[in-house]
Amino acid sequence: MTNIPLIQLPVRYSELSDSLPVGLRISSRILDPILVIQLGKKGFEAVLGGVLSRRGIESIFEAPTSSHNWIVDGDVVRPLPNDIGSILSGLFGKYDLQNLSFSDVLAIARIEQDLIRIHVTPEVLTPASEAAAGSGDVGEIPGLRATLFPYQTHGVSWMQKTISHTGGLILADEMGLGKTIQIISLLLLSPPSKESPALIICPTSLIANWKREISQFAPDLSILIHRGAARTGIYSGLLVAQVVITTYDTAVNDISLLEAIEWSWLICDEAQAIKNPDSNRRRALSQIPRRRSVPMTGTPVENSLMDLWSLTDFAIPGLLGTRSEFESMYPDNGESAKALSSITDPIVLKRKVADVAGDLPARIDIDIPIELGEDLIVEYERIRTETLAKYPSAGSLVATGQLQVFCAHPWLQAHKSASEFWYEEAGISRRENLPLFTPKVELAVSLIKEAFASGRKVLVFALFNRCGDLIREAVGEARDVYWGSINGSTPQEARQEIVDEFTEHDGNACLILNPRAAGSGLNITAATVVIHFTQVWNPALEAQASARAHRRGQTLPVTIYRLYYEDTVESVMIERSEWKRDMANEAVPISTRDDADLKRALQISPRRGNE
């Protein structure tokens, strides 16, 4: 083909025949032109071609370039319309057809015209979950101190390829599939610099988890936590680390600083926080300059299709048009959702546990450290010091009990923490200066709602009975949800009936259980999400509780979350549990750590850990 001269067709055969290489002949049949949009080596590209029909079967032949007005079919040169060049220029002159963005692809496909056919190849619009499955192994990830599951390596590989030519995507994998470790891997493949760092915005409750995960799995990445009274007041103060982690509220308050930097990455965890396009938060954060955007959420559509527009427009601005254009084109109904999915599915990676179950272990344990926050730290420290002063002799037992109650929720009050059943007696005393939505409650509600959105049933273990009332209040009204509870006051004969109702309920369901009352003897394999809302001193009790869902008869992987406040009595309880697990020897009594653990539980301070 490279030896064929550039010619303008149609021309008279007698004028052309002498200039063609031997063996080629010219056809007088003019083919219908077609613009094929495909994924090339460097990204999306549009290629000019011609359509030939033989016996009802269409074949597409590619022109040498968009400047050529012919194609070669075997030994036949077939002409395209003589004015195809001016047609392309008139319709698509503002686009670089050799280097199209994903937004360009959709814009070209939507142009109303009948001069040239537009064909978008299937690979361009392949749903992300399918594309990721076929994307292959990402290979070695420099600096990653972890081993990824196969589906995770495929996800990272797909994200790396996709974001290179889209500039943005939405990571919406189901809970428990490791969205955080995939993002960390992505950052390591294209490391941010201090001059153009990555910005991670997340709820306050997840600051500690991001810090821990990056430090553990990518220790070569430097981190700056930007929040609180000690944060910098000048933008250059942010250019001291490769990764800056901040909260949504801090980002809005300091938007003038964030807007002064072109960030290499903008990662928004729990991105449902920016689903409302009318919120000040959404408006502010959308103005942050960035090269790549990745909203992370397990529930990209919660209330309406406008949720998806907001997230998509944040990831790839302009992809779905303006808000008014979107609302007129996609009314909030099932037909619109189906039409919209053909556009958004290629940039939304959403995989379910059931989809990748073969890659997963039967049990996934996820510990999530949480920061108390300034107001709760002050209250925690008050309880710690006052209780120790009041009970100098029995201080260890009483003080750790009071601190456990506070970590469950500051509204809980237990006045008999030295009695055998004190955890059953803790009541609720609402306090105006402390909120219902503590960082732990906020995280638990997010996990429960995401589980509900994925059709998964949940067990919540809480040592204090009234925790269930507070969690249910925080989740709020939800349609077709079964709520049940089992604790020490639940009659033995009623417990199996509650489990049966939970299991048979056709819809979302949550059981809130006291591990002392429901930690053994019950088979609750209908649940695949387990949340330990409070911690216990005896690791065996926790293990028995988790085994309610993760046991014989369970056909899906079970995700088990332990939520705990960092640098508090709960973190010591977690350490104690890990020690027992690492010993891998049931013969070693946990009592060998009792005195040391109680002493450390009273000495550890979230104030010092937060400095």
pLDDT exceeds 90 at position 190:
yes
DSSP string, 422-441: HHHH-EE---TTS-S--HHH
Per-residue pLDDT, averaged over 6-28, amounts to 63
Task: Please tell me which residue, 454 or 448, carries the higher pLDDT value.
Answer: 448
Query: How would you classify residue 74: left for phi > 0, otherwise alpha for psi between -120 and 50, otherwise beta?
Result: left
* Band of pLDDT at residue 393, cut at 50, 70 and 90: low
Per-residue pLDDT, averaged over 93-119, amounts to 91
Structure tokens at 474: 């925080």
* Residue type at 317 in one-letter notation: P
pTM comes to 0.85
pLDDT of the residue at 489 = 85
Question: What digits encode the pLDDT tens for the residues 518-557?
Answer: 766 788 888 999 999 999 888 888 888 888 888 777 888 8
Indicate the DSSP class of residue 100: B
pLDDT of the residue at 1 = 39
pLDDT of the residue at 17 = 58
**Bridge pairing between strands 265-268 and 481-486:** unpaired
- Residue 76 pairs with which residues in a beta bridge? 25, 73
* Band of pLDDT at residue 300, cut at 50, 70 and 90: confident
Q: Residue 10, preceding bond cis, omega within 30 degrees?
A: yes
Nearest to residue 263, comparing CAs of 218, 224, 319? 224
pLDDT of the residue at 158 = 95
Question: What digits encode the pLDDT tens for the residues 397-411?
Answer: 677 888 999 999 999
Structure tokens at 294: 């990745």
**Bridge pairing between strands 57-62 and 198-202:** unpaired
pLDDT of the residue at 2 = 39
CA dihedral 315, 318, 324, 329 (to 10 degrees): -90
Share of the chain above pLDDT 90, in %: 56
CA dihedral 373, 377, 378, 384 (to 10 degrees): 170
Which region among 7-21, 37-51, 78-92, 342-356 has the lowest average model confidence (pLDDT)?
A: 7-21
* Residue type at 69 in one-letter notation: N
pLDDT of the residue at 399 = 75
pLDDT of the residue at 611 = 47
pLDDT of the residue at 357 = 81
Place of tokens 């049931």: 586
What domains are defined for the chain?
A: 13-125 (no CATH), 128-359 (3.40.50.10810), 434-609 (3.40.50.300)
Per-residue pLDDT, averaged over 36-52, amounts to 90
* Band of pLDDT at residue 23, cut at 50, 70 and 90: confident
Which region among 158-167, 199-208, 498-507, 516-525 has the lowest average model confidence (pLDDT)?
A: 516-525
pLDDT exceeds 80 at position 395:
no
CB 242 within 8 A of CB 198: yes
Task: Please tell me which residue, 64 or 565, carries the higher pLDDT value.
Answer: 565
pLDDT of the residue at 4 = 46
Per-residue pLDDT, averaged over 135-152, amounts to 92
Question: What digits encode the pLDDT tens for the residues 9-18?
Answer: 545 545 555 6
**Bridge pairing between strands 198-202 and 76-79:** unpaired
Average pLDDT taken over every residue of the chain: 87
Question: What digits encode the pLDDT tens for the residues 341-366?
Answer: 888 999 999 999 888 888 888 889 99
pLDDT of the residue at 185 = 98
- CA dihedral for 596, 598, 599, 601, sign (positive or negative): positive
pLDDT exceeds 70 at position 376:
yes
Q: Could you tell me which residues come within 8 angstroms of residue 578 by beta carbon, excluding any fewer than 6 positions away?
A: none
Per-residue pLDDT, averaged over 449-474, amounts to 92
